[in-house]
């Protein structure tokens, strides 16, 4: 199939999933066209059947806001015509599903029919999309998609609760390339980051308020009072400065390593013992899955789709949002006993197996095939 993939090219989970999906589909023989405003961060390989088409929005002084949706829908029209793209898979409803619908309508005028698969990722539904400023357009775009998927059952429930949805929604969970996280061959160079007694705690996110990064610091502060530990803090975002300041105030700055954005997540996870994800909302928690695939136990909140990923008492523990004491208690329970830590780490890896890309990617292929077949009948 010739598949157009529209996504955010940044470090956000939706862009990562879209990119990994495209790359895997290309390995399975499909021709993939990424259409977005920058080369996606994890798109390291441009090969015969992986293409990247940049959407440019020329600055024009009359516009207070530059019209990205317009530029995207025009680009989609051109790319579908030029490359014979058969199906568009858009990740994150805003504004991608909306722009794709406009492109589809323009193409129909020329007798070209291209169906749209929309994947909802989380904040496009739970935070931004349900705001009254966007809600009518998001509802419309979801209902006008030819197929809709969500990355967890919880996100499907939220979508049905928050919007008036007439379409069926398929749950296709996020996935992982387990081979990339198979570290048994190496000692992971743990000694570079911590001494033998120190436990390594890790947090990865885009440091937005929804990630509750101050809770990460509070839990780590409590842990290191009881057990020697280091915190690996990965990501850039609006909360970064306040986190650095707080670490200074608490006198733990020398125990926290700030990596910024990193393309070496797998290496950092390789030497980690525990992953903290205390988010306010989290439709799935791809970062937690990446940690689990690396054999890292997870302490997370119990919000959204996290209970579908992190299995309470097995791969880690779940706590109510903001319950620092419970998260600290659970973290210390895992870290204070070497055998217990080993068991949780092994369980984490085992729980991640369920999300193997070889099991999940064919679900998307089946959706493309069904959608194309349905459209042929119409």
Distance of closest approach, residue 99 Cβ to ligand GMT, in angstroms: 16
Candidate ranges 8-16, 27-35, 63-71, 291-299; the one touching ligand GMT (CB under 6 A) = 8-16
Query: Minimal CA–CA distance to 335: which of 223, 252, 179, 168?
Result: 223
210 binds ligand GMT (CB under 6 A): yes
CA distances from 270 to 183, 233, 237, 275 (A): 6, 14, 24, 11
Distance of closest approach, residue 205 Cβ to ligand GMT, in angstroms: 6
Contact in structure between 90 and 119 (CB atoms under 8 Å):
yes
Task: State the Cα–Cα distance between residues 317 and 310, nearest whole angstrom.
Answer: 7
User: Residue 35: beta bridge partners?
Assistant: 6, 53
285 binds ligand GMT (CB under 6 A): yes
Binding mask 142-161 for ligand GMT (x = CB under 6 A): ---------x----------
- Site for ligand GMT (CB under 6 A): which residue of 141, 206, 315, 330? 206
| Count of alpha carbons within 13 angstroms of residue 307, beta-carbon side | 10
- Site for ligand GMT (CB under 6 A): which residue of 174, 218, 319, 371? 174
Residue 300, Cβ density class (10 Å: 0-12 exposed, 13-18 middle, ≥19 buried): buried
173 binds ligand GMT (CB under 6 A): no
- Site for ligand GMT (CB under 6 A): which residue of 273, 282, 290, 308? 282
Distance of closest approach, residue 120 Cβ to ligand GMT, in angstroms: 9
- Site for ligand GMT (CB under 6 A): which residue of 4, 12, 40, 278? 12
Binding mask 175-194 for ligand GMT (x = CB under 6 A): --------------------
Distance of closest approach, residue 368 Cβ to ligand GMT, in angstroms: 18
Nearer to ligand GMT, 126 or 218 (CB): 126
Distance of closest approach, residue 7 Cβ to ligand GMT, in angstroms: 9
- Site for ligand GMT (CB under 6 A): which residue of 19, 36, 123, 347? 123
Q: How far is CA 344 from its chain centroid?
A: 23
- Site for ligand GMT (CB under 6 A): which residue of 159, 283, 310, 315? 283
Number of residues that bind ligand GMT (CB under 6 A): 20
Nearer to ligand GMT, 6 or 188 (CB): 6
Query: Minimal CA–CA distance to 342: which of 266, 274, 287?
Result: 274
Binding mask 13-52 for ligand GMT (x = CB under 6 A): xxx-x-----------------------------------
Distance of closest approach, residue 123 Cβ to ligand GMT, in angstroms: 5
Candidate ranges 109-117, 202-210, 290-298, 349-357; the one touching ligand GMT (CB under 6 A) = 202-210
Nearer to ligand GMT, 206 or 218 (CB): 206
Candidate ranges 9-17, 161-169, 186-194, 257-265; the one touching ligand GMT (CB under 6 A) = 9-17
Nearer to ligand GMT, 224 or 310 (CB): 310
Binding site for ligand GMT (CB under 6 A): 12-15, 17, 92, 121-123, 151, 174, 205-206, 210, 281-286
């Amino acid at each position: 199939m010739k598949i157009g993939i529209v996504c955010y090219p940044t470090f956000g989970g939706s862009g990562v999933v879209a990119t990994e999906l495209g790359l895997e589909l290309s390995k399975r023989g499909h021709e993939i066209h990424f259409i977005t405003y920058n080369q996606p961060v994890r798109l390291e390989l441009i090969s015969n059947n992986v293409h990247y088409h940049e959407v440019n929005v020329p600055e024009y002084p009359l516009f207070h806001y530059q019209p990205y949706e317009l530029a995207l829908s025009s680009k989609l029209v051109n790319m579908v015509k030029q490359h014979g793209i058969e199906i568009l898979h858009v990740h994150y409803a805003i504004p991608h599903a909306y722009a794709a619908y406009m492109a589809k309508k323009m193409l129909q005028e020329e007798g070209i029919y291209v169906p749209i698969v929309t994947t909802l990722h989380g904040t496009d539904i739970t935070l931004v999309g349900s705001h009254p400023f966007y809600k009518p357009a998001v509802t419309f775009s979801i209902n006008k998609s030819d197929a809709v998927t969500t990355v967890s059952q919880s996100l499907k429930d939220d979508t049905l609760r928050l919007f008036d949805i007439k379409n069926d929604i398929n749950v296709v969970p996020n996935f992982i390339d387990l081979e990339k996280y198979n570290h048994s061959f190496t000692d992971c160079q743990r000694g570079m980051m911590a001494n033998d007694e120190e436990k390594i705690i890790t947090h990865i996110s885009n440091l937005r308020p929804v990630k509750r990064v101050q809770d990460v610091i509070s839990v780590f502060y409590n842990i290191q009072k009881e057990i020697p530990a280091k915190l690996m803090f990965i990501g850039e975002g609006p909360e970064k400065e306040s986190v650095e300041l707080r670490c200074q105030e608490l006198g733990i700055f020398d125990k926290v390593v700030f990596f910024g954005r990193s393309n070496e997540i797998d290496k950092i996870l390789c030497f980690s013992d525990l992953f903290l994800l205390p988010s306010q909302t989290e439709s799935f928690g791809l970062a937690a899955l990446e940690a689990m695939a690396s054999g890292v136990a997870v302490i997370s909140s119990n919000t959204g789709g996290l209970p579908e990923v992190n299995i309470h008492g097995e791969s880690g523990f779940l706590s109510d949002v903001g319950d620092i004491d419970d998260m600290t208690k659970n973290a210390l329970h895992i870290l204070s006993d070497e055998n217990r830590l080993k068991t949780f780490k092994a369980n984490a890896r085992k729980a991640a197996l369920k999300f193997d890309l070889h099991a999940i990617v064919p679900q998307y292929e089946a959706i493309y095939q069904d959608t194309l077949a349905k459209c042929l009948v119409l």
